C-alpha cells in the first residue's frame, strides 16, 4: 500500500516536473514534424551557417530565450553556450545585463535555471564576476553626447529615469569588464528584436556596429532570431536594420 | 512517522503542482467577481455569439494562449477545442505553425501540455500529421509577387531571413495539408493581435480574407481576443483592421 | 530503501519547486552583482525616493509583475504591498482589472500565487470585494464622448468590441468601488508601459492625470518601471509621456 502511494507520488512528481520543463519527447509526441525540423534544419543547418560563429549564435539565443522568458530550452542552451566557449562569467553578465534591458523577472527566472546547470558542470563560484570590478574606461565624449541628446529630447519628463540611466547603465553596467562591449551590444540588440522593441533598435544597432558587429553579422542575427522569437519579430526588425545600414553607408 | 513524511510530501507536491497550474478555485478565492464573470459572461455569452463558430473561437483561443505562453488555461482549452471539433492533427499543426509565428519556446511549452491532454483522451499517435506529407499546391504567381516585394523592400538586409522565409515558411509550412490555409491564417492573425505585432497584421489579415475569413468574422476575432489577450491589444488592432477593410472595399 | 526513495522524492520535489519559483539564493549564486544591486540600490534607494509613496510603488510593481507574467517575485511583492497598506480587496481588484487590461492568463497565474500569500497571512475571505457591489457613479458626459470618439474612429470595425468595452469595462469594471479610479488608472498605465503598449498610453495617462496622478508621479512611475519591466519599455514610454504633459500644459 505504502509502496503504491509512493509510486503514485513519484509518478505525479515526474509529471509535474515534466509539465514545468517540456522535453524533446513532448515535441516528438505532439508535433513530430517540428521535432525533426529542429534536429535537421535548425541545429543541423542554420547553426552551421558561417555568417555568425556558434559562439555568437549561443549569445544571441541565450539573449532571446531570457528576454522572452522562454525557460523550456534555457538549460540546454546554457550548456551549449558553455560548449561553444561562452564563459560562465559572460553568462552571468548576460543575465545581469538583461535584468536592465529585458526585466528583473527575466533575470530571476534565468538565474534559477543557470544555477542548476552551473552546479551540474561544477563551475567554480570563483569563475563568476566580482561584484565591484575595475570598470572599463568610459568614452566621456560619446557619453556626454548621449546625455545631452536625452535631455534635449525628453528633459524633465522623468528625471529619475534620466539620472539612473546615466548612473546605473552607462557609468556602471556597460563598463563591467566580464562581457565585452561588442557582446553586450549583441545581447541588447538580440533582446530588443526578440521582444519587438524596435523603437529602441536604431540607437543600439548603431552602438553594436560601432562596437564591432558587422552588417553581415547583424543581418544574420535577425535570421537566427526568426527561429527563436518568431518570424513577426524578425520582419519588424527588417526596416529598422535596413535604414540603419543605409544611413551608415552614406 | 513515515506516513507523516509521506503525507507532507504529497501535500507539498500538490501545492507545487497547484502553483504551476492555477485552477478555477484560485480565481474564486482571490477574485470572485472575475470567476463569476468567466462563467456567466465569457463562457455563457461571448462564446455563444453567432458571429464566430465555437470551433473558430477555439482555434483563436488556442492561438492566443500559445502565442502568449499562457499555459494556465491551455489544457482546458485543448480539451474544449477537441470537443468543438478541432482535430488532433489540426492542434498539432497549430503548435507547429506558432513555433514560426510566435516562437519556438511557445511551441515547446504548448507541446508538453497538449501531450498530457492527448494521453488522457487516448488520442492515437496515428492521428498526428505525417512529418513529410504531400504538400498543397502553391500559388506560384502570388508567391513570386511576395518574394519580389520583400526583395524590393528589404533586399540584402538579411539574406538568411529572405531565404528561409521562402524555403521554410511559404514553400513548406503553409503548404502542409493538415491545417487549411484559412485556419492557418486565422491562427497567424490571432497570434499577431494577441502579441501586439500590428506591423505584420496588414499582410496577414489580407491573406486571411483572401483565404476566406469574412470581415464580420475578423471583427469578432478582435472582440474575442480582448478577453484573452487584453483590451489594449484588441484596441491596437482596430485601426489596422479598419484600414485593411477600407482598402478592400474600394 | 523506502527511506532512500522517499528522500530522493523529497529532494526531487524540492528542486522541482525551486525551479518553478526562483529565489534570492539563485541570483546570488549566478549574478552576485545583481543580487547586491537589488538590495542596496533598488530596495535601499529607488523605493525610498519621495516622488512616489511606497504604497504607490507597490501598486505599480504588482501591476508590472502581473502584466508581464513575472511570477518569480510576485509572492514577495504581494506581501510587501500588504505591508505598505494596499488592502486585500485592492489587490483582488488589481488582478481583476488586469484580466481585462493585460490578459486573462495573467490574472489566473497571479491569483494562484496571491491565494497562497492570503492564506499565509490568514486574510479573511470577507475582506474580498463583493461580486456585485454598488457601483461608483458614472460621468455620463465623459463616457458619451468616449463612445462617440470610438464610433467615429473605428465604427463597425468590431461591433462586439465596441459593445463589450462599454458594457464590461466602462459601465462595470471601472465603477467597482474597491479600487479608487486613480489607482485603477495607475494600474492601467503601469501595465501599458510594462508591456510596451504605448499606442494606448495617451488616453490612459490623460485619464490617470484627470483622476489625480501628478506629472511628477507619472514621471517617477516610468523610472520605477525601468527596474522591473526593463529600460527599453521605460524609454519607449518617454516620448508619449512628454507629449501628453506638453498638451496638458497648454
Cβ distance of A13 and C16 shorter than 8 Å: yes
Please give the pLDDT value at position C21. 66
Containing A100, the helix (H) or strand (E) segment is: helix A88-101
Closest residue in A to C236 (Cα) is A199
pLDDT tens sequence across A135-160: 999 999 999 999 999 999 999 999 99
Note whether residue A159 is domain-resident.
yes
Task: Give percent above pLDDT 70 in chain A.
Answer: 92
| Position A207 pLDDT exceeds 60 | yes
Tens-digit pLDDT profile for chain B (250 aa)?
Answer: 455 444 444 444 433 333 456 777 888 999 999 999 999 999 999 999 999 999 999 999 999 999 999 998 999 999 999 999 999 999 999 999 999 999 999 999 999 999 999 999 999 999 999 999 999 999 999 999 999 999 999 999 999 999 999 999 999 999 999 999 999 999 999 999 999 999 999 999 999 999 999 999 999 999 999 999 999 999 999 999 999 999 999 8
A38 to chain B: which residues are within 8 Å by CB? 104
Closest residue in A to B15 (Cα) is A16
Note whether residue C158 is domain-resident.
yes
A53 vs A56, B132, C231, CA distance in Å? 5, 30, 28
| Position C18 pLDDT exceeds 70 | no
Please give the pLDDT value at position C6. 47
Spatial CA neighbour of B172 closest among A238, A39, A33: A33
Structurally, chain A folds into a number of domains equal to: 1
Cβ distance of B230 and C102 shorter than 8 Å: yes
Task: Find chains touching chain B: ≥3 CB pairs under 8 Å.
Answer: A, C
Closest residue in B to C166 (Cα) is B231
Tell me the count of B-C CB pairs closer than 8 A: 175
Closest chain B C-alpha to C154 CA, distance in angstroms: 7
State the pLDDT confidence band at C22, using cuts at 50, 70 and 90: confident
Q: Count CA within 13 A, CB hemisphere, residue C156.
A: 6
Chain C contact probe: residue of B51, B197, B230, B238 with most C CBs at under 10 A: B230
**Stretch A8-30: mean pLDDT:** 59
Q: Is the ipTM of this complex over 0.85?
A: yes
Containing C244, the helix (H) or strand (E) segment is: helix C231-249
Spatial CA neighbour of A74 closest among C197, B98, C26, C231: C26
A191 to chain C: which residues are within 8 Å by CB? 232
Closest residue in A to B197 (Cα) is A232
| Position C4 pLDDT exceeds 70 | no
Cβ distance of A26 and B111 shorter than 8 Å: yes
Cβ distance of A13 and C13 shorter than 8 Å: yes
Per-residue 3-state assignment (H helix, E strand, C coil) for chain B:
CHHHHHHHHHHHHHHHHHHHCCCHHHHHHHCHHHHHHHHHHHHCCHHHCCCCCHHHHHHHHHHHHHHCCCCCCHHHHHHHHHHCCCCHHHHHHHHHHHHHHCCHHHHHHHHHHHHHHHHHCCCCHHHCCCCCCCCCCCCHHHHHHHHHHHHHHHCCCCHHHHHHHHHHHHCCHHHCCCCCHHHHHHHHHHHHHHCCCHHHHHHHHHHHHHCCCCHHHHHHHHHHHHHHHCHHHHHHHHHHHHHHHHHHHC
B176 to chain A: which residues are within 8 Å by CB? 33
Spatial CA neighbour of A47 closest among A57, A38, A61: A57
- CA A35 centroid distance within chain: 23
pLDDT tens sequence across C31-50: 999 999 999 999 999 999 99
**Stretch C59-87: mean pLDDT:** 97
Closest chain A C-alpha to B21 CA, distance in angstroms: 9
Mean pLDDT score of chain C, rounded to an integer? 92
Please give the pLDDT value at position C165. 98
Note whether residue C152 is domain-resident.
yes
| Position C125 pLDDT exceeds 70 | yes
User: What is the distance between the alpha carbons of residues C226 and A71, in angstroms, rounded to a whole number?
Assistant: 22
State the pLDDT confidence band at C19, using cuts at 50, 70 and 90: very low
User: What is the distance between the alpha carbons of residues C185 and C169, in angstroms, rounded to a whole number?
Assistant: 13
Closest residue in B to C94 (Cα) is B31
A78 near A119, Cβ under 8 Å? no
Note whether residue C110 is domain-resident.
no
Spatial CA neighbour of B176 closest among B82, B64, B96: B96
Mean pLDDT score of chain A, rounded to an integer? 92
Note whether residue C168 is domain-resident.
yes
User: What is the distance between the alpha carbons of residues C165 and C147, in angstroms, rounded to a whole number?
Assistant: 9
Please give the pLDDT value at position A136. 97
Minimal Cβ distance to C51: which of A106, A113, A160: A160
User: What is the distance between the alpha carbons of residues C93 and B43, in angstroms, rounded to a whole number?
Assistant: 21
Task: Find chains touching chain A: ≥3 CB pairs under 8 Å.
Answer: B, C
C37 to chain A: which residues are within 8 Å by CB? 168
User: What is the distance between the alpha carbons of residues B191 and C216, in angstroms, rounded to a whole number?
Assistant: 37
Grid coordinates belonging to B44: 455563457
B186 near B60, Cβ under 8 Å? yes
pLDDT tens sequence across A29-84: 999 999 999 999 999 999 999 999 999 999 999 999 999 999 989 999 999 999 99
Using CB atoms within 10 Å of the CB of residue C4, give its burial: 0 to 12 exposed, 13 to 18 middle, 19+ buried.
exposed
Please give the pLDDT value at position B23. 74
C120 to chain B: which residues are within 8 Å by CB? none
Please give the pLDDT value at position A250. 85
Is residue A175 left, alpha or beta, with left meaning phi > 0 and alpha meaning psi from -120 to 50?
alpha
B11 — phi, psi (to 5°)? -70, -45
Note whether residue A10 is domain-resident.
no
C245 to chain A: which residues are within 8 Å by CB? 157
**Stretch C146-171: mean pLDDT:** 97
C199 to chain A: which residues are within 8 Å by CB? none
Cα Rg of chain A (Å, integer): 20
Per the structure, the complete domain to which residue A162 belongs is given by 139-178
B30 near C30, Cβ under 8 Å? no
| Position A25 pLDDT exceeds 90 | no
Note whether residue C93 is domain-resident.
no
Note whether residue A164 is domain-resident.
yes
Please give the pLDDT value at position B124. 92
Please give the pLDDT value at position B5. 46
User: What is the distance between the alpha carbons of residues A30 and A189, in angstroms, rounded to a whole number?
Assistant: 33
Amino acid at each position: 500500500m505504502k509502496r503504491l502511494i509512493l509510486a503514485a507520488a513519484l509518478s505525479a512528481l515526474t509529471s509535474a516536473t515534466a509539465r514545468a520543463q517540456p522535453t524533446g519527447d513532448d515535441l516528438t509526441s505532439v508535433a513530430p514534424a517540428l521535432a525533426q525540423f529542429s534536429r535537421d534544419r535548425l541545429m543541423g543547418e542554420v547553426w552551421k551557417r558561417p555568417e555568425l560563429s556558434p559562439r555568437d549564435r549561443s549569445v544571441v539565443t541565450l539573449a532571446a530565450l531570457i528576454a522572452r522568458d522562454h525557460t523550456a530550452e534555457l538549460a540546454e542552451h546554457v550548456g551549449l553556450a558553455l560548449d561553444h566557449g561562452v564563459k560562465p562569467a559572460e553568462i552571468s553578465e548576460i543575465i545581469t545585463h538583461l535584468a536592465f534591458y529585458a526585466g528583473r523577472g527575466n533575470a530571476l527566472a534565468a538565474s534559477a535555471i543557470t544555477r542548476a546547470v552551473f552546479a551540474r558542470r561544477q563551475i567554480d563560484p570563483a569563475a563568476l564576476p566580482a561584484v565591484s570590478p575595475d570598470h572599463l574606461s568610459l568614452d566621456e565624449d560619446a557619453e556626454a553626447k548621449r546625455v545631452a541628446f536625452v535631455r534635449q529630447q525628453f528633459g524633465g519628463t522623468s528625471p529619475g529615469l534620466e539620472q539612473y540611466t546615466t548612473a546605473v547603465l552607462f557609468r556602471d553596467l556597460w563598463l563591467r569588464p566580464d562581457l565585452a562591449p561588442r557582446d553586450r551590444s549583441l545581447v541588447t540588440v538580440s533582446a530588443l528584436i526578440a521582444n519587438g522593441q524596435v523603437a529602441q533598435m536604431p540607437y543600439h544597432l548603431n552602438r553594436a556596429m560601432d562596437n564591432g558587429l558587422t552588417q553581415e553579422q547583424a543581418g544574420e542575427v535577425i535570421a537566427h532570431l526568426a527561429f527563436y522569437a518568431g518570424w513577426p519579430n524578425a520582419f519588424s526588425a527588417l526596416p529598422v536594420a535596413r535604414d540603419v545600414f543605409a544611413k551608415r553607408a552614406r
